[in-house]
């Protein structure tokens, strides 16, 4: 399988604090990779440097062989990396339909002048976008909400919406930031099915940050474990589970963390 | 200071300053004649504290009526309301006090103490200096040493957590407003001592400049704000004396824009990274 | 989703109506005519500001500055630079005046758009109340600069501007502004403005160039404010820098808020309503039978304005016709942040 995303020796510092230190990661095409670690280990920071929200202090990031570190988030989305957020970030005042439609902006041929002049090509393209949005919503069974404001959807539907919106940018790599957060066991089962389905149907790679071990162990083919910004283990779910360093990071060694 | 604790721009601050000057204008002839001779400084103090009390009450009243109901609303809603309050005070003031400038009474007898040609120090300047110093010390004491001051700082850091720890935010915010307004009122009197012509719109520029000074010094940082005020004053005086004197009023804004663009945390503040 | 040509037709109808109405303007009382012209200008101002403040969520308090630039630039062009064109077209006739006025308005709009470009840049780094203060500052700086420019009269004001503005021009511009804003927002491209308002980080994550959208909003909004300024200058024939102060910006903002940020119809309606209200207050101040107090308050329009503003914010912050449940920034976040689920397999 071809290499899709590669992080080499990436370090992120905020003032004096090192959030991520010399982090390496490779994601292949069609890979389903998990990134786990205790709270504050730097997982979301890694997402943020991949998607251009932050710039790594040092190190390189390449996507499909080209460097992407330092590009703006919208340019990185254009290269084919889409993401969801830990605390759902939809466009709350837009409808479900428009939330997905907004993601088509990226591949729009006609822009300001066409929207004003309304030449036939504009209508053709708008109709084409509308059709694709409908198709996507259909696949994920969200069409019945198409004209509801996103803010009115249930929590689980909002999570799903965010994934659909990310897919609408037609990515090669999908980053999911704690998609199972706040879900009950049944919803988590459904989520796992959904992720597997998405990966197969759209033939994309998925990189997943997750707290919930069941979800991660259940679907990921490869897992990287992060603690205090340093990668302490990487391998198959089975290997990671048996790794003493991982157990130590999660359970602590002799002095357990005081209960809150 | 209000901005540091509550994280919103109180447009009406400059107008409280104006009300302070006017309250001094009305109080002085009613109070000062009762204190003659040795007691005169006491009379001045009574005027000053009376004004501060009036402004504190007004500030708290404004907070109660206009800002408290909006506490859970987006910042911009509050900002717009603050602009409304400010306009109301300005034009309401014009309505009640009249639009024409008034001569501020002589609170401290003006007398040159030291005259070495270029440098003249007057009694008013000394009085203003001493009062400012006392107020700054008092403010620092309140913020650093008292329970309410601690609650204020807690609120500034994290209002939810402060609330959970038993801080009554209504009281604290109200108190902050009162304190900030009292100081603004005192500043109004001090200003009127040196420039004894007051009118209802006098608060607009000082209000904006106070904000510029606060931003310049780093928001929520009392010594920083004082230093920012000093710096702004120096730059303005300098420009006012140069060939560009007609541009003077634009200077505060130009500084503000430059600071916000290049050092949004102020000269002495720390930058914060937005969390995603 | 079906697309029909309703918007273009509506624009055409509006322009024709404006042209027809213009033919009868001679029979309207000049005072009423001026009020009607002000209404059209205010509709243009409020609708264009709504693109920046309402749809794109970049709270600007500097619209009067853009208007001032448009007013001064177009006044300067029509007073100082149009003689040559008149000569080439054989003197002042209906055609040459129309052509020159169109060019002059365009010039005012372009000048303001350039200023919009300059002001739009800080909006890339600032948010919310800071941006509001900075745009306010820009507006004031523009005013001070004009005050210091002798070529356009400096603090004395600029007089002797030709009274070219007619009903046709005013309402054709208002209709065009509404058309541009509406047709732009109603497109996949235009939805981008709304995503910038709703959540910038999310917008960028789906590939939306928020920088470009914000600058576009500022430039377009400023352009139409500049054109409105040109119309204003050629209505009153005298302009003064102090007429374009921060309070004028606030008046336009109030129209946008009253109408509901991001609702073009509401904002246009609010502009009509507020202009009429302000004019009506002049009459109230003149009614002899009213108590003196009421008349004095009515003559001080800023008191009424500030009270309207405060009341609106306290009672209906979404505006009278607002579509938004809450203004930009009111994001719904999940209530429970799930704690760490440290499940050991």
Give me the interface pTM, i.e. the ipTM: 0.85
Confidence of residue C329 (pLDDT cuts 50, 70, 90): very low
Q: Residue B163 above 70 pLDDT?
A: no
Residues A14 and A71 in one domain: yes
DSSP-derived secondary structure letter, A223: E
Q: Are A82 and A204 in contact (CB under 8 A)?
A: no
How high is the pLDDT of residue B110?
Answer: 57
Distances in Å between the Cα of B9 and the Cα atoms of A156, A220, A239, B82, C204 are 38, 49, 55, 8, 29
Q: Which residues of C touch B85 (CB under 8 A)?
A: 306, 310
Q: Which of A113-117, B152-156, C257-261, C305-309 has the lowest mean pLDDT?
A: B152-156
- C129–B9 C-beta distance less than 8 A: yes
Q: Which of A14, A15, A48 lies at the smallest CB-CB distance from B276?
A: A48
> Which residues in chain B are contacts of A15 at CB distance < 8 A?
270
Nearest to A102 among C192, C262, C332 (CB): C192
pLDDT for residue C268: 92
The arithmetic mean of pLDDT across residues A225-231, rounded, is 85
Identify the pLDDT of residue C19: 81
Q: How confident is the model at residue C325 (pLDDT cuts 50, 70, 90)?
A: very low
Contact with chain B for residue C314, Cβ under 8 A: yes
Say whether pLDDT at C343 is over 50. no
Q: Comparing C97 with B255, which gets the higher pLDDT? A: C97
Q: What does pLDDT average to over chain A?
A: 86
pLDDT value of position B164: 65
> Residue A53 and residue B273: Cβ atoms within 8 Å?
no
Chain A, nearest residue to C329 by Cα? A92
Nearest neighbour of B276 by CB, restricted to A14, A15, A53: A53
Residue B38 sits at the chain A interface (C-beta within 8 Å): no
At A37-56, the pLDDT tens digits run 887 788 888 889 999 988 88
Helix (H/G/I), strand (E/B), else coil: C290: coil
Q: What is the mean pLDDT of residues C103-121?
A: 92
Which pLDDT does position C102 carry in this prediction?
Answer: 93
Nearest chain A CA: its distance from B112 CA (Å): 52
Helix axes C246-259, B75-97, angle to 10 degrees: 130
Contacts with C318 from chain A: Cβ below 8 Å: none
HEC letters along C119-147: HHCHHHCCCHHHHHHHHHHHHHHHHHHHH
Residue of B nearest to A14 (CA): B273
A231 Cα to chain C: minimum distance (Å): 18
Residue A109: pLDDT over 70: yes
pLDDT at C294 over 60: yes
pLDDT score of B112: 55
Contact predicate B266/B218, CB 8 Å: yes
Instruction: Tell whether A208 is covered by a domain.
Output: yes
- Chains in contact with A, counting 3 or more C-beta pairs less than 8 Å apart as contact: B, C
pLDDT at B186 over 60: yes
- Are A69 and A55 in contact, with CB atoms under 8 Å apart? yes
How large a percentage of chain C has pLDDT more than 90? 33
Given a contact cutoff of 8 angstroms between Cβ atoms, the answer to whether C37 and C234 are in contact is: no
Residues of B with Cβ-Cβ distance to C300 under 8 angstroms: 91, 94-95
CA distance C152 to C238: 11
Is the predicted pLDDT of residue C64 greater than 90, yes or no?
yes
Question: Is the per-residue pLDDT at C104 higher than 80?
Answer: yes
What is the end-to-end Cα distance of chain B in Å, rounded?
28
Supply the pLDDT for residue A83: 93
C168 Cβ under 8 Å from any chain B Cβ: no
Average the pLDDT over A28-33 and give the result: 88
Minimum distance, in Å, between the CA of residue B66 and any CA atom of chain A = 27
* Calpha distance A90→C203 (Å, rounded): 9
Query: What is the average pLDDT value for chain C, to the nearest integer?
Result: 83
The set of residues, in sequence order, having a beta carbon less than 8 Å from that of B126 and lying 6+ positions away, is: B113
Predicted confidence (pLDDT) per residue in A82-104, tens digit: 999 988 899 988 999 999 999 99
Cβ-Cβ contacts under 8 Å between A and B: the total is: 7
Q: Is the pLDDT of residue C339 over 80?
A: no
Calpha distance C43→C40 (Å, rounded): 5
Pair A39, A20: CB distance under 8 Å = no
A243 lies in the same domain as A186: yes
Confidence of residue A257 (pLDDT cuts 50, 70, 90): very low
Strand bridging mode A32-36 / A205-209: parallel
The domain boundary residue, chosen from A124, A155, A186: A155
**Band of the pLDDT at B252, cuts 50, 70, 90?**
confident
Identify all chain C residues contacting A101, using CB atoms and an 8 Å cutoff. Answer: 188, 191
Q: pLDDT at position C272, please?
A: 93
**Candidate from B122-131, C140-149, C280-289 with smallest mean pLDDT:** B122-131
Q: Between these two residues, C46 and C26, which has the higher pLDDT value?
A: C46
Mean pLDDT of A164-182: 90
> How far separated are the first and last CA of chain A, in Å rounded?
45
Query: pLDDT value at position B121?
Result: 59
Amino acid A176: pLDDT: 92
**A54 CB near a chain B CB, below 8 Å?**
yes
A18 in reach of chain B (CB within 8 A): no
Cα–Cα nearest to A134, from A124, A125, A145, A123: A145
Q: CB of C256 within 8 A of CB of C45?
A: no
CB atoms within 10 A of CB A65: 9
Does B276 contact chain A (CB < 8 Å)? yes
- The confidence band for C258, taking pLDDT boundaries of 50, 70 and 90, is confident
Please give the residue that has the higher pLDDT: either C33 or B213. C33
Residues 11-30 of chain B with CB under 8 A from chain A are none
What are the C-alpha distances in Å from A92 to residues A99, A221, B151, C327?
A: 9, 34, 34, 11
Q: What are phi and psi of B251, to 5 degrees?
A: -65, -45
Indicate which of A44, A47, A72, A74 best probes the interface with C, i.e. most C CBs within 10 Å of its own CB. A74
DSSP conformational letter for A17: E
pLDDT in tens, C140-154: 889 989 988 888 888
CATH number at residue A237: 3.40.50.300
Tell which of A120, A155, A190 closes a domain. Answer: A155
For residue A110, what are the domain limits? 90-155
Query: C326 versus A17: which is more confidently predicted?
Result: A17
Domain ranges of chain C: 6-242
> Same domain for A184 and A226?
yes
Residues of B in contact with A57 (CB under 8 A): none
Give the Cα-Cα-Cα angle C162, C163, C167 (nearest 5 degrees). 150
Q: What percent of chain C has pLDDT over 70?
A: 91
pLDDT over 60 at C172, yes or no? yes
Cα(A186)–Cα(A170) distance, rounded to whole angstroms?
28
Q: A86 phi and psi, to 5 degrees?
A: -60, -50
CA distance C306 to A67: 54
Q: At A91, is the secondary structure helix, strand, or coil?
A: coil
Cβ separation of C314 and B249 shorter than 8 Å? no
Is it the case that residue B42 has pLDDT exceeding 80? no
Q: Residue B77: which of C133, C141, C313 has the nearest Cβ? A: C313
* Chain B neighbours, 3+ Cβ pairs < 8 A: A, C
In a domain, residue A131? The reply is: yes
Higher pLDDT, B16 or B110: B16
Chain-chain contact of A112 with C1 (C-beta, under 8 angstroms):
no
- Say if A85 falls within a structural domain: no
Q: B164 touching A, CB under 8 A? A: no
Chain B nearest C-alpha distance from A251 (Å): 27
Is the distance from CB of B16 to CB of B181 less than 8 angstroms?
A: yes
Average pLDDT over residues B43-52: 83
Q: How far is B274 from chain A (nearest CA, A)?
A: 10
Across the range B236-240, mean pLDDT stands at: 70
Of A50, A34, A40, give the one whose Cα is nearest residue A224: A34
Q: How far is C17 from chain A (nearest CA, A)?
A: 21
């Amino acid at each position: 399988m071809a290499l899709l995303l590669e992080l080499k020796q990436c370090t992120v510092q905020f003032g004096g604090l090192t959030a991520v230190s010399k982090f390496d990661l490779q994601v292949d095409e069609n890979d389903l990779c998990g990134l786990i670690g205790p709270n504050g280990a730097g997982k979301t920071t890694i997402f943020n440097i991949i998607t251009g929200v932050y710039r790594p202090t040092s190190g390189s990031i390449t996507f499909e062989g080209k460097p992407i570190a330092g590009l703006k988030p919208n340019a990185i989305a254009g290269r084919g990396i889409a993401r969801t957020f830990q605390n759902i970030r939809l466009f709350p005042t837009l409808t479900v339909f428009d939330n997905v439609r907004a993601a088509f902006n990226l591949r729009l041929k006609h822009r300001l002048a066409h929207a004003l002049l309304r030449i036939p090509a504009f209508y053709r393209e708008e109709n084409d976008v509308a059709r694709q949005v409908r198709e996507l919503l259909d696949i994920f069974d969200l069409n019945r909400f198409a004209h509801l404001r996103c803010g009115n959807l249930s929590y689980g539907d909002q999570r799903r919406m965010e994934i659909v919106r990310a897919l609408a940018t037609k990515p090669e790599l999908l980053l999911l930031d704690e998609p199972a957060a706040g879900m009950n066991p049944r919803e988590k089962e459904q989520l796992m099915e959904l992720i597997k389905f998405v990966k197969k149907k759209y033939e994309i790679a998925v990189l997943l940050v997750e707290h919930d071990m069941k979800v991660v162990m259940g679907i990921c083919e490869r897992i990287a474990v992060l603690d205090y910004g340093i990668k302490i283990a990487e391998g198959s779910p089975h290997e990671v589970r048996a790794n003493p360093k991982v157990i130590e990071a999660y359970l602590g060694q002799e002095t357990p963390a005081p209960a809150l | 200071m209000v901005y540091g604790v509550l994280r919103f721009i109180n447009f009406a601050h400059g107008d409280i300053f104006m009300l302070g000057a006017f309250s001094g204008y009305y109080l002085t002839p009613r109070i000062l004649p009762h204190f003659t001779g040795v007691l005169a400084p006491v009379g001045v103090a009574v005027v000053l504290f009376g004004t501060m009390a009036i402004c504190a009450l007004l500030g708290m009243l404004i907070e109660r009526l206009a800002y408290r109901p909006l506490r859970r609303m987006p910042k911009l809603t509050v900002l717009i309301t603050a602009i409304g309050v400010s306009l109301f005070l300005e034009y309401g003031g014009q309505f009640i006090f009249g639009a024409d400038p008034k001569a501020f009474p002589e609170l401290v007898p003006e007398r040159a103490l030291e005259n070495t040609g270029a440098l003249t120090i007057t009694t008013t300047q000394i009085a203003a200096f001493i009062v400012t110093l006392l107020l700054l010390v008092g403010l620092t004491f309140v913020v650093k040493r008292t329970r309410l001051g601690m609650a204020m700082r807690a609120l500034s850091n994290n209002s939810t957590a402060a609330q959970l720890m038993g801080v009554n935010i209504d009281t604290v915010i109200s108190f902050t407003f009162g304190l900030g307004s009292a100081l603004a009122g005192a500043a109004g009197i001090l200003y009127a001592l040196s420039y004894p012509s007051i009118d209802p719109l006098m608060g607009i520029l000082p209000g904006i400049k106070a904000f510029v000074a606060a931003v310049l010094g780093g928001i929520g940082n009392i010594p920083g704000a004082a230093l920012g005020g000093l710096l702004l004053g120096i730059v303005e005086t300098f420009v006012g004396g140069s060939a560009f004197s007609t541009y003077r009023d634009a200077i505060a804004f130009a500084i503000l824009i430059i600071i916000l663009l290049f050092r949004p945390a102020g000269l002495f503040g720390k930058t914060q990274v937005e969390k995603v | 989703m079906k697309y029909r040509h309703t918007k273009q037709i509506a624009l055409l109808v509006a322009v024709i109506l404006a042209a027809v109405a213009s033919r009868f303007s001679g029979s309207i009382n000049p005072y009423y005519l001026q009020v009607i012209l002000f209404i059209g200008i205010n509709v243009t101002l409020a609708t264009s500001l709504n693109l920046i403040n309402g749809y794109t969520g970049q709270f600007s308090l500097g619209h009067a500055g853009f208007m001032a630039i448009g007013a001064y630039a177009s006044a300067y062009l029509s007073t100082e630079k149009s003689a040559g064109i008149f000569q080439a077209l054989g003197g002042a006739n209906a055609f040459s005046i129309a052509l020159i006025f169109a060019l002059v308005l365009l010039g005012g709009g372009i000048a303001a758009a350039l200023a919009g470009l300059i002001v739009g840049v800080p909006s890339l780094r600032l948010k919310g109340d800071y941006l509001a203060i900075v745009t306010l500052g820009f507006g004031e700086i523009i005013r001070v600069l004009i005050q210091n420019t002798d070529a356009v009269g400096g603090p004395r004001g600029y007089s002797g501007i030709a009274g070219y503005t007619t009903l046709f021009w005013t309402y054709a511009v208002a209709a065009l502004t509404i058309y541009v804003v509406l047709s732009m927002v109603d497109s996949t491209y235009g939805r981008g403005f709304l995503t910038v308002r709703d959540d910038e980080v999310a917008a960028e994550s789906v590939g939306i160039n928020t920088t470009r959208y914000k600058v576009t909003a500022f430039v377009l909004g400023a352009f139409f404010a500049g054109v409105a300024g040109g119309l204003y200058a050629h209505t009153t024939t005298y302009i003064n820098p102090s007429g374009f102060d921060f309070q004028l910006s606030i008046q336009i903002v109030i129209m946008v808020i009253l109408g509901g940020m991001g609702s073009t119809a509401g904002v246009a309606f609010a502009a009509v309503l507020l202009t009429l209200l302000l004019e009506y207050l002049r009459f109230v101040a003149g009614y002899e039978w009213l108590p003196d107090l009421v008349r004095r308050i009515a003559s001080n329009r800023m008191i009424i304005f500030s009270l309207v503003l405060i009341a609106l914010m306290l009672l209906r912050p979404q505006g009278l016709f607002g579509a938004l449940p809450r203004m930009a920034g009111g994001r719904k976040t999940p209530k429970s942040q799930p704690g760490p689920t440290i499940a050991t397999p």
